Amino acid sequence: MSAAKRLRAVILLVSVILLSFFALLTVFSDSYRDAAGPFDAGQHDLPHGAPPPDAGKIVESAKVEVVHSNAQDGSRLSTSPTSDIGAHPRLANATFVILARNSDLEGVVNSIQEIEQRFNARFHYPYVLSNDKEFTAEFRSAISNATPSLVEFGLIPSADWVQPDWIDEAKASASRAKMVEDGVKYGGDVTYRNMCRFNSGFFYRHPLMQKYKYYWRIEPNVHFLCDIHDDPFLYMQEHDKTYGFTLAVHEIRATIPTLWDTVTAFTDQHPEYVAQDNAIDFISNDDGRNYNGCHFWSNFEIADMDFFRGDAYAQYFDFLDRSGGYYYERWGDAPVHSIAVSLFLNASQLHFFDPIGYQHDDWRHCPLDRAMYDAGNCSCDYLKEFDYSGGSCKAQWDHFVRTNGLDRQEIAVPEW
């Protein structure tokens, strides 16, 4: 063998060894991440606004070439137009978030399939699923099969989930018994209370959520009734919106007897957190003396976690939590979120997403604008929607928007 041939053979051999080494490394790191599940924190402590670290993986599986943009806040990725599935060219730093039990598997798959079909097959936003118990291998694999996007599964630390030990259990159980007697929905259920507390004050602190700024909350067995052509996250980002909703409803009074008194005790101590142009007139009919029970239905939320991670909300949540109302009553995360965004944000930062057709249980919203109804290929019956029926607060929202001149701003951006 000549010297040149020998050299070529050596180079070939070294290349093969190196390639095998890198292939093994990739397989090992993927399976490590899958097995790690519960909050592999080291991987996730990126600053807010940073692009998802695994974004390459998201689109790689969808055969789209990814280019990290040079945007100053680093919050966007741009994809090349070579996609064979028509990927949207821009992404916000955002994720879907789903809290679920292993027993919710079918419902979660249904919800993911619908949001993929109506929206995410073109956008490829990732998903974060969390659970107070380990997700089973079956759950993980079925969910991962429902979308080509990145899916991460997290275990909720028990301190963020279980009833805190400073709650007086005798008092809490007496209150649960009374609610059961009174027929209050979920009145006797401690895990429901854990869930409401987690969704109020912990989901956005979860290590898997740290790298994201915006989230879109999804629940098992919800329905997306229209095609969503544009990106709601980008809409939020570009129009300085912090909290977006589709349904607004009345709370069950028996679940929140002292919530408003507790909120006003907090705002008396911290008037500096109340925004100048807040939306108090949406949640109160008498200038703040009483809560009217209106809240944005939190099973659908698109929101900016910088708000929840900020001082106002952190202190507000701690104050409410320490009062014990999650367990001595049955405070829901929906009124807790809604009161906070209505008081601590300017009303212009709240947004009603009319084009997003959405259904949870029997309550649904379909676009009120007929043109959107047609353009979105909506599958819902216009006559059956909930917006102006008894339990809805949409009329209060309309009134609030009109009397504060916010409708003019909404009209200025007709696409949403």
Ligand X SMILES: Nc1nc2c(ncn2[C@@H]2O[C@H](COP(=O)(O)OP(=O)(O)OP(=O)(O)O)[C@@H](O)[C@H]2O)c(=O)[nH]1
Judged by CB, which is closer to Mg ion: 57, or 101?
101
Q: How far apart are CA 340 and CA 23, in angstroms?
A: 49
For residue 298, the minimal CB distance to ligand X (Å) is: 8
Nearer to Mg ion, 189 or 219 (CB): 219
- Residue whose CB is nearest to Mg ion in the complex, by number: 219
d(CA 371, CA 119): 18
CA distance 336 to 349: 17
Contact (Cβ atoms closer than 8 angstroms) between residue 263 and residue 315:
no
Best CA proximity match to 281, nearest among 387, 410, 404: 404
CA distances from 366 to 83, 130, 172, 290, 396 (A): 31, 29, 39, 31, 18
Catalytic residue among 114, 251, 301, 329: 301
Residue 197 and residue 321: Cα distance in Å, rounded? Answer: 8
Residue 156 beta carbon to ligand X: minimum distance, rounded to whole angstroms: 7
Residue 361 within binding range of ligand X, rule CB under 6 A: yes
Binding footprint of Mg ion, residue count (CB under 5 A): 2
Taking the C-alpha atoms of residue 30 and residue 36, their distance in angstroms, rounded to an integer, is 10
Binding residue count for ligand X, defined by CB under 6 A: 12
Q: Does 160 bind Mg ion (CB under 5 A)?
A: no
How would DSSP label each residue in 20-33? HHHHHHHHHHHHHH
415 close to 234: Cβ distance less than 8 angstroms: no
- Footprint on residues 203-222 left by ligand X (CB under 6 A): 219-220
- Check residue 100 for interaction with ligand X (CB under 6 A): yes
User: Is residue 106 a contact residue for ligand X (CB under 6 A)?
Assistant: no
- Residue selected from 66, 129, 150, 195 as contacting ligand X according to rule CB under 6 A: 195
Decide: is 191 part of the binding site for ligand X (CB under 6 A). yes
Position 323 contacts ligand X (CB under 6 A): no
Residues 254-313 that bind ligand X (CB under 6 A): 299
Whichever of 132 and 410 has its CB closer to ligand X, that residue is 132
Residues 131-170 that bind ligand X (CB under 6 A): 131-132
The question of whether 301 is a catalytic residue gets the answer yes
- The position carrying tokens 């790690």 is 36
| Interface positions with Mg ion (CB under 5 A) | 219, 299
| Interface positions with ligand X (CB under 6 A) | 99-101, 104, 131-132, 191, 195, 219-220, 299, 361
